[in-house]
Structure 1
Amino acid sequence: MSAPGLPREEERGMILVNVLMFVAIASGLVLLMIDREELGLDRGLRMREAARAQAIVRGGELSALVALRRDSETAGDVDHGREPWARIAVAAAPIEGGTFDLAIGDAEGRFNINTVRTGEAGSVVLLQEIANQIGMPPEQVVAAIQYVRLQGPVTDLRPLRLAGVEPKVADRLEKMVTALPGITSINLNAAEPELMAVLFKDPLIASRLVQVRARQGFLTLKDLDDQHVTLPWGCSFRSSTFWVRTRARIGGTTQQEATLIQRRRSPESRPETVPVERWRNAAVPPGVPAFATR
């Protein structure tokens, strides 16, 4: 028989169960608090990494602006990929806690589809010739022109897929056509060989000019005269629009940005070099130069 005032065995068992349950609940709350604290610390770390990476990305854009502004002040009437502005590109450059990449390229090495908004016959004819080269059906050409004239100016070519352009055709189109603000010419010093063949309507002459360009780094009117051809419609040897693409990897965070930079005249007729469009991360459009690999 139990002594007076002492709990029975069953009561002691229930008390033990309650105590263990409270201990388990308390342990769970402690673990939850620790987990939330760790998540908060991890989130804060990633936010700091992202902010630092974004600052480095913008710093890369600034270096491109400075290089292109200097080129506009010191270079002549020819823009090409062997000028100092093109040499600022880097691949996996080491920075504190990660790496940095920068790619820069001439944006006017392709036909600007926004040119068809002027209604000038030459722009429509050139787009049709490009379409013939890549196997784009006439009805898709008409649909693309109508879309750009009604919805444009467009900032990249991806919406054309919604206008009825087949994906495979759109992939080939993006290698010779781009979407830039304003009216731009095609810089023969940046055009791909396939587009050169369309522009000169002679693959052999285009191939010779590409070889000359590869040897000396650029083309001039004299090089065209040597091949007994004239400057094609809508073409030139210089550019006013350039791409810069930057990427910073810090810890487990990656930030990437593509910027369209334009050299132009201010309302006061002063030369200026300014960013006109930006795309971040997955929104980077086609036509942006690829990062180099080591």
Structure 2
Amino acid sequence: MARPTEKRTAENGVVLINVLVILALTASVVYAMISLSDLAILRSQRFSSAGQALALISGGEASAIVALRRDMTVAPTTDNMTEVWALVGQQQVQIAGGTFALQIEDAQSRFNLNNLPLSGALGAQILQRIVKRLDLPADVAPRIAARLVQPQPLVRMADLVAEAGLTPDEVARLSQLATVLPGRTDININTAPAALLAVITDNPVQAGRLQGIRKRQGFLTAADLTAAGVILAPGVGFVSRYFEVTTSVTIADTAQRMQTLLQRSTARGGPEVEAIFRQNPLGTVEPPKYAAAP
């Protein structure tokens, strides 16, 4: 028979183990609560940072929209790199808690691939020259042309990978001189790169002459073309309707990058500028409002 002292010792041991188990469980619960609280705080901070970043992106878009709307009133017959809209861009700068950068480009500074079904042999020739100029495989042009036989226009350059069998590298190189815009658009020779001037003139001497004039005075006019003895084919102009705005923002450890396609038009109330397509590196943010395109 166990002695009373031994019995009490055994009971005390069991009680101690139970107490330790309870303490361990309590510590685990407290630790889980603290961890969840920290996670909730971190998530809240990230949501706050994301909200601030999106607000800055909206502000960047708004500044571009204001400049482009004003430009339609001040200088409706030309769009060139000396104008205010082209100077709205902001190199990356430090802001409270992060960085901000804004870039605005004339989307019509490149050849619109969606022109192909509407421009016949001339459009096909320009695409072939672009492919040759960029030293791309010769079958790139017919593959793109085959895709554009379909009634649905291209929405993004990146879609050429899945829909025309191009490689990402080929698309990246093609994007130097080509783009995708809704409907038919002219190439703006005031903003087109020198390589594209050479393509559309198909004459290195004339292209160099135009580049020289544009470099000296910042833009080209119809009178400049006449004086230089240059006759350009249809599909080339001096003004643009579409502009691309790229805004990059970092707040704390949150990074946001948005590409927005802006469309200018004239309504009863005066000049209008609206965002018709937004996308970020993860894909489309908003479906394109291509129904609004003329």
TM-score, length basis structure 1: 0.88
Q: Residue in 2 aligned with 1:23?
A: 23
- Give, in angstroms, the shift of residue 282 of structure 1: 3.4
- Give, in angstroms, the shift of residue 3 of structure 1: 7.5
1:55 equivalent to 2:89? Answer no
**Alpha-carbon contact 1:130-1:176 (below 8 Å) kept:** yes
Moved more, 94-103 or 248-257: 94-103
Q: Structure 1: where are the runs of 5+ without partners?
A: 286-294
Partner secondary structure for residue 229 of structure 2? coil
Q: Residue in 1 aligned with 2:156?
A: 156
Q: Cα–Cα, structure 1 residues 230 and 15, in superposed 2: closer, same or farther, change >3 Å?
A: same
Q: Residue in 1 aligned with 2:199?
A: 198
1:130 equivalent to 2:130? Answer yes
Q: Distance in 2 between matches of 1:37 and 1:254?
A: 24
Moved more, 90-99 or 44-53: 90-99
Q: Residue in 1 aligned with 2:278?
A: 278
Q: Distance in 2 between matches of 1:179 and 1:79?
A: 19
**Identical aligned residues as a percent:** 36
- Matched letter for residue 229 of structure 2: H
- Give, in angstroms, the shift of residue 205 of structure 1: 2.8
Q: Cα–Cα, structure 1 residues 182 and 269, in superposed 2: closer, same or farther, change >3 Å?
A: farther
Q: Deviations over 1:116-175 (max 9, x none)?
A: 122533222221222232344454322211212315311221111221224443332111
Q: Residue in 1 aligned with 2:99?
A: 99
Moved more, 38-47 or 206-215: 206-215
1:1-294 correspondence to structure 2 within 5 Å: 4=4, 7-118=7-118, 120-150=120-150, 152-162=152-162, 163-266=164-267, 268=268, 270-283=270-283
Moved more, 192-201 or 4-13: 4-13
- Matched letter for residue 259 of structure 2: A
**Alpha-carbon contact 2:200-2:232 (below 8 Å) kept:** no
- Give, in angstroms, the shift of residue 284 of structure 1: 7.7
- Give, in angstroms, the shift of residue 237 of structure 1: 1.3
**Alpha-carbon contact 1:221-1:231 (below 8 Å) kept:** no
Q: Distance in 2 between matches of 1:205 and 1:119?
A: 23
**Alpha-carbon contact 1:135-1:169 (below 8 Å) kept:** no
Moved more, 147-156 or 79-88: 147-156
- Matched letter for residue 192 of structure 1: P
- Matched letter for residue 60 of structure 1: G
Partner secondary structure for residue 27 of structure 1? helix
- Give, in angstroms, the shift of residue 5 of structure 1: 8.0
Partner secondary structure for residue 100 of structure 2? strand
Partner secondary structure for residue 149 of structure 1? coil
**Alpha-carbon contact 1:189-1:237 (below 8 Å) kept:** yes
Partner secondary structure for residue 91 of structure 1? strand
**Alpha-carbon contact 1:249-1:255 (below 8 Å) kept:** yes
Partner secondary structure for residue 219 of structure 2? coil
Q: Cα–Cα, structure 1 residues 209 and 121, in superposed 2: closer, same or farther, change >3 Å?
A: same
Q: Distance in 1 between matches of 2:96 and 2:120?
A: 52
Larger relative contact order (CA 8 Å, sep ≥ 6): 1
- Matched letter for residue 198 of structure 2: A
Q: Deviations over 1:166-187 (max 9, x none)?
A: 4443332111110011211000
Q: Distance in 1 between matches of 2:48 and 2:170?
A: 42
- Matched letter for residue 141 of structure 2: V
TM-score, length basis structure 2: 0.88
**Alpha-carbon contact 1:255-1:281 (below 8 Å) kept:** no
- Matched letter for residue 106 of structure 2: D
